[in-house]
């Protein structure tokens, strides 16, 4: 019921953004030097609110004189951040970005609004495929972030009995573990990776994230969260 109510509140704002975007794209289409427009950010795959902006990637012709800096636009009262890339630069970014990284996720979760060049459409489609090598590199990066955080959490719990600070380091760990959870599910992690992981594995992330935030801290609760974080680590890190 709560989620439905929130969607009801957000719907008028979402409609306002979609209307402004549609009008802007019709204007952009008239410029034949712009080969494609890709909607990224919250409007492409999530929910916007009144303080959001619109993120656009505009792919331009391969011209040495083409502007390579982002531009700020204003569409019906909404701020628009437009990133300009030549076709060659877009290809390098799309094909060279490490799978699962933020640049890759930013583009992969985007939505191609239109294109005058079908090769760009093909590149956008390939962004949704996460290679095995890139996945392993991202898993390794997440693991190397999680382990020091777990060490700190355990140290502050054992040596100081500081429940608050130990819980903070467990929460730092949770973000890295969430990325591992999402990657191993074959999905693309984004900045909101913890809610993604909570849906995939509520039995673990309910303990190390949701319960730790929303319940009064006690030593048994913090110890349970630490144990829950350590269990998947020993299993997952051995497979990376």
- What are the tens digits of pLDDT across the range 90-109? 988 887 766 657 777 788 88
**What integer pLDDT is reported at residue 150 of this predicted model?**
94
Neighbour tally for 103: CB within 10 Å? 12
- Whole-prediction pTM: 0.68
- What are the tens digits of pLDDT across the range 138-194? 899 899 999 999 999 999 999 999 999 999 999 999 999 999 999 888 888 877 889
Helix 132-155 and helix 163-184, axial crossing angle in degrees, nearest 10: 170
* Joined tokens for residue 131: 């290679």
- What are the tens digits of pLDDT across the range 193-238? 899 999 999 999 999 999 998 989 999 999 999 999 987 554 544 5
**What integer pLDDT is reported at residue 98 of this predicted model?**
65
Name the average pLDDT for the chain: 85
Q: What string of DSSP letters covers the chain?
A: -HHHHHHHHHHHHHHHHHHHHHHHHHHHTT-TTEEEEEEESHHHHS---TT--EEEEEEE-S-TTS--S-EEEEETTEEEEEEEEEHHHHHHHHHHSPTTSHHHHHHHTSEEEEES-HHHHHHHHHTT---HHHHHHHHHHHHHHHHHHHHHHHHIIIII--HHHHHHHHHHHHHHHHHHHHHHTT----TTHHHHHHHH-HHHHIIIIIHHHHS---HHHHHHHHHHHHHHHHHHHHH-
**Reported confidence tier of residue 1, pLDDT bands at 50, 70, 90:** very low
| Burial class of 35 by CB neighbour count within 10 A (0 to 12, 13 to 18, 19+) | buried
- What are the tens digits of pLDDT across the range 25-83? 999 999 989 999 999 988 988 888 888 999 999 999 987 766 666 788 888 889 999 99
What separation in angstroms does the CA of 227 have from each of 223, 224, 232? 6, 5, 9
CA distance linking residue 81 with residue 92, whole number of Å = 21
CA distance linking residue 89 with residue 95, whole number of Å = 10
Neighbour tally for 235: CB within 10 Å? 9
Domains in the chain (CATH in brackets) are 2-126 (3.30.460.10), 132-239 (1.20.120.330)
């Amino acid at each position: 019921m709560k989620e439905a109510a929130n969607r009801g509140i957000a719907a008028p704002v979402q409609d306002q953004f979609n209307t402004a975007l549609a009008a802007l794209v019709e204007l952009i289409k008239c410029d034949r030097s712009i080969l494609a427009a890709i909607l990224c950010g919250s409007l492409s795959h999530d929910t916007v609110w009144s303080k959001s902006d619109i993120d656009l990637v505009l792919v331009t012709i391969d011209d040495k004189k083409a502007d390579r800096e982002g531009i700020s636009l204003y569409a019906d009262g909404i701020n628009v951040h437009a990133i300009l890339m030549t076709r060659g630069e877009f290809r390098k970014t799309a094909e060279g970005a490490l799978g699962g990284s933020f640049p890759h996720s930013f583009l992969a979760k985007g939505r191609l609004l239109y294109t005058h060049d079908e090769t760009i459409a093909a590149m956008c489609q390939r962004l949704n495929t996460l290679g095995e090598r890139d996945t392993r590199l991202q898993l390794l990066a997440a693991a190397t972030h999680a382990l020091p955080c777990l060490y700190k959490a355990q140290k502050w719990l054992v040596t100081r009995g500081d429940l608050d600070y130990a819980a903070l380091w467990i929460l730092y760990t949770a973000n890295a573990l969430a990325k591992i959870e999402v990657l191993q599910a074959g999905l693309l992690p984004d900045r909101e990776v913890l809610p993604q992981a909570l849906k995939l594995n509520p039995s673990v992330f309910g303990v190390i994230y949701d319960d730790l935030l929303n319940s009064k801290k006690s030593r048994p609760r913090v110890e349970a969260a630490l144990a829950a974080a350590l269990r998947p680590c020993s299993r997952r890190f051995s497979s990376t």
